[in-house]
Amino acid sequence: MKFFLENENGRTPIEDLSFAQSKQAVAIMDAVARLIPQEGVDYDVNITFKGEYNPSVSMKIEAHTDKGEFWKQYVAQMISKYPPRVDYAGETLPENPVPPEEGETTETKEDPDEEIMS
């Protein structure tokens, strides 16, 4: 969110808002936030797999409100323009990991200050 002040000198960005400006900004953003559709309230996405090992899949958006109907139309246009792809380029765990050979070690030196998450 960006704030600007427009006066005889033109439009300039501002960071410090007055109390009244803050209240106006909050009211505007509240109205904008209400326009964002919420899954489960305004719409549901139904994904249907065409078989356990079949790569075919379909998606249907079920609209519950007028916002959901508008969202459904928007998503249909964007999905046709930018179709989903199943290509993950990140690291993956191997299907059959190879155990280390005898004598090889997989241990690393531990940092005593390192926090361990559990």
pLDDT tens figures, 23-51: 999 999 999 999 999 999 999 999 999 98
pLDDT tens digits for the chain (118 residues)?
Answer: 899 999 999 999 999 999 999 999 999 999 999 999 999 999 999 999 998 888 889 999 999 999 999 999 999 999 999 988 877 666 666 667 677 666 555 555 555 555 555 4
**Is residue 75 within 8 Å of 61, Cβ to Cβ?**
yes
Q: Which residues of 31-68 are buried (b: 16+ CB within 10 A; e: fewer)?
A: eeeeeebeeeebbeeeeeeeeeeeeeeeeebebeeebb
For the entire predicted model, the pTM comes to 0.60
The type of residue at 7 is N
